[in-house]
Amino acid sequence: MRALVVDDHLLLGQALGGLLTQLFPLDLQGVCGSVSDALVLLAQDSPDLLILDVCLPGERWQDLAEPYLAGNSQGALLFVTGHDASFEPPAKLRRQVLGVIHKSVAWADLIAVVSPWVQRSGALSETWHCSQRPSPDWLSPREFRVFEALGQGMLNREIAQHLGLTTATVDSYRKSICSKLGVSGTELVRQAVISRCLPAASLRPDAG
């Protein structure tokens, strides 16, 4: 089975695609930053699962979701959103919609939605325990909040606004986190996404 991820935050999209293909027997057809790019892949072949960001600047998610579901009666659609917490998919699409996952919640919710679909499709998922993933316990409270925001798909400027910092300060924190975790900038985002599957109590440093 194949999955296509569409998110204007490409690093987050790549991390989500990597997470799902690591946990489930899915091949990643692609990660697109726009509806127009995704429609090109859709014209070539239709994925079994489409993971679609609701909020795509200057584009409508309907322009991708509707032709995808119309051309693939067995296809499944999973929405993610970082802004509209009240989003509800139209009733006419709900038969093929797995759910709506907000980027601010743990990705364990996403896994809990995808896992039953994989099982219903006849593919066996491998046993995987979130608690086995590395925990960034050694980060300072401020570094952890930056790390957590990266796992939600925020860009540096968004993190700066969210935490009341300058973008230069956020960039400095990212470099410090990369050094402590021993990862590259791209790998940092993937680790932030994966770590959101961990129990919150095991991740959050003591305040101070």
Dump pLDDT digits (tens) for 78-98.
999 887 678 888 888 888 999
Q: What does the pLDDT read at residue 3?
A: 93
Position 201 scores a pLDDT of 37
pLDDT at 183: 80
| Cβ contacts of 60-66, under 8 Å, gap ≥ 24 | 60/35, 61/35, 63/35, 63/39, 64/6, 64/35, 64/38, 64/39, 65/93, 66/93
Q: Crossing angle for the helix pair 167-181 and 156-163, nearest 10 degrees?
A: 110
**What is the pLDDT, as a whole number, of residue 185?**
80
> For residue 90, what pLDDT is reported?
87
Name 99's bridge partners: 78
* Model pLDDT, residue 11: 82
Domains assigned to the chain: 2-120 (3.40.50.2300), 132-203 (1.10.10.10)
The region of weakest confidence among 39-48, 127-136, 150-159, 182-191 is 127-136
pLDDT-based confidence at residue 137 (cuts at 50, 70, 90) = low
- Give dist(CA 128, CA 92) in Å, integer: 34
pLDDT of residue 198: 53
Quick check: 200 pLDDT over 80? no
Strand 76-81 to 49-53 pairing = parallel
Amino acid sitting at position 173: Y
Position 24 confidence tier, pLDDT thresholds 50, 70, 90: confident
- The per-residue pLDDT for 31 is 92
Task: Report d(CA 63, CA 68) in Å as an integer.
Answer: 9
